[in-house]
Amino acid sequence: MKSGRSGAFWLRLTAVSLVTALVFLLSGCGGGGGASVAPPPPPPATLTITTSSLPAATVGQDYDVTVQATGGTGSRTWSALGLPAGLDIGPTTGTITGTATAAGNSNPTVQVVDTGSPPQTASRQFSLAVNVVALCAPPANPSGRNDSTATATALTTNGNCTIAASISPFTTSGPDEDFYRFTATGGVTVTVETRARRLNPSSGLDSVLEILPASGARFTTCREGGDGSTTGAVSGTFQDANGDPVTDATPTAFDDPCINDDIDLGVIRDSKMEFQVPGSGTVEFFVRVFDWRGDARPDFLYELTITGAN
């Protein structure tokens, strides 16, 4: 009798153990209400260079273009192979900057790498042309000094050109200043820029630009080169012809007096303006170049570049 009772007890213990084991197994498989396992995170977006083309560069002129990318993880490191001589890419910004030294065509490859694990890499090949500076067509009947609107040098740009000149020595009437005559269609935007401090070697000229009609009453349809416009570097601030900082409440509007000293206040001491030509039809206007201090020397060399005029 004792052995029969012991056998029954053993059978009951074994059955309980099997049930307990089954519950444990079901719990481990999610069937017993245990803690669920979190799904893996989604993969990062594919790193892609989204810039499709690069604008042309010009020999001797500053180049500043940022290559854009999307996706990836963490920070990015940029590099480039085959850029024209004088240009380089910022490793943390993707901005191609510098001054091209020779004309020609190239096919640089830009690459970007992120800090994901594993890291992603994206690359794209571009076509980049470097053009020579187009010289402004000289006047048919060049005059002597061009120090007034009446004696201004008349130039034809064919859309984009540069002229090299200097602010000559003092005359009996005071320091020299240069006047150039252009025409453009009413409503278009004309960009005017000097390069003196940025020449190599640098010129001592601290240029000032002014745009005016034959009457001499300065136009007021400009956007300053240093007031936060697309050509500027300092948002909301520019320097007037007296050297004083001016805050512009409407930095993107063409409502500024057409006179500029520094592109970037105290940093880039050349001059630049965007001029919205008033009226309609063919409009005559004059560009005046002079030194902010009123100085004049034969070595005060400068380049004047104008785009958008006839």
Q: Which of 55-64, 199-208, 252-261 has the lowest mean pLDDT?
A: 55-64
Report the alpha-carbon angle 55-56-60, nearest 5.
130
Give percent above pLDDT 70 in the chain.
78
66: CATH: 2.60.40.10
Asked if 137 contacts 156 with a C-beta cutoff of 8 angstroms, the reply is: yes
Residue 22 has pLDDT above 70, yes or no: no
CA–CA gap between residue 33 and residue 24 (Å, rounded): 11
Higher pLDDT, 29 or 87: 87
- Contact assessment for residue 136 and residue 161, using Cβ atoms and an 8 Å cutoff: yes
38 C-beta neighbours (distance < 10 Å), count: 6
| Domain extent for 54 | 48-131
Is residue 148, in this structure, part of any structural domain at all?
no
- pTM of the predicted structure, to 2 decimals: 0.62
**224 or 286: which carries more pLDDT confidence?**
286
Q: Find all residues with CB under 8 Å of 267, minimum gap 6, and list them.
A: 233
pLDDT-wise least confident of 32-36, 204-208, 246-250: 32-36
Distance CA 203, CA 44 (A): 51
Q: What is the pLDDT of residue 53?
A: 94
Find the CATH number of the domain harbouring 184.
2.60.120.380
157, 126: one domain: no
Residues 163 and 302 occupy one common structural domain: yes
In a domain, 250, yes or no: yes
Same domain, 278 and 244: yes
- Same domain? For 225 and 303 the reply is yes
What's residue 158's pLDDT?
77
Q: What is the mean pLDDT of the chain?
A: 81
Mean pLDDT over 222-251 rounds to 57
Exposed e or buried b per residue across 4-24, where buried means at least 16 C-beta atoms within 10 angstroms of its C-beta: eeeeeeeeeeeeeeeeeeeee
**Model confidence pLDDT, tens digit, residues 235-247:** 455 555 555 666 7
pLDDT of residue 3: 47
Least confident among 141-150, 167-176, 220-229, 246-255: 220-229
Do 112 and 158 lie in one domain? The reply is no
Residue 136 lies in a domain: no
Return d(Cα 66, Cα 91) in angstroms, integer.
Answer: 11
Q: What single DSSP character describes residue 216?
A: -
- The distance from CA 192 to its chain's CA centroid, rounded to whole angstroms, is 17
Q: What is the pLDDT of residue 81?
A: 97
- Please write the tens of the pLDDT for every residue from 123-155: 999 999 998 878 887 665 555 678 888 888 888
First to last CA, the chain: 123
In 3-state terms, what secondary structure has residue 220?
A: coil
Q: Is residue 22 part of a domain?
A: no
Q: Who has greater pLDDT, 168 or 237? A: 168
Collapsing DSSP states into helix, strand and coil, what is residue 23? helix
The predicted structure's pLDDT at residue 279: 92
Q: What distance in Å separates the CA atoms of residue 134 and residue 55, rounded to the nearest whole number?
A: 17
Higher pLDDT, 283 or 145: 283
**Number of residues that this document lists for the chain:** 310
Q: Same structural domain for residues 168 and 119? A: no
Number of domains in the chain: 2
What are 46-98's pLDDT values in tens digits? 999 999 999 988 887 788 999 999 999 999 999 999 999 999 999 999 999 99
Verify that 225 and 182 share a domain, yes or no. Answer: yes
* CA separation for the pair 29, 112 (Å, rounded): 44
| Amino acid type, 138 | P
Q: Are 260 and 224 in contact (CB under 8 A)?
A: yes
Per-residue model confidence (pLDDT) at position 129 = 92
Which distant-in-sequence residues (6+ apart) come within 8 Å of 308 by Cβ? 159, 160, 184, 188, 189, 190, 191
Q: What is the pLDDT of residue 245?
A: 65
Q: Are 184 and 277 in contact (CB under 8 A)?
A: yes
Give rounded-to-5 percent helix, strand, coil for the chain: 10, 35, 55
Answer yes or no: are the C-beta atoms of 234 and 182 closer than 8 Å: no
Which position has the higher pLDDT, 265 or 146?
146
In this predicted structure, which of 6-15, 53-62, 245-254, 268-277 has the lowest mean pLDDT? 6-15
Residue that finishes a domain, picked among 98, 131, 164: 131
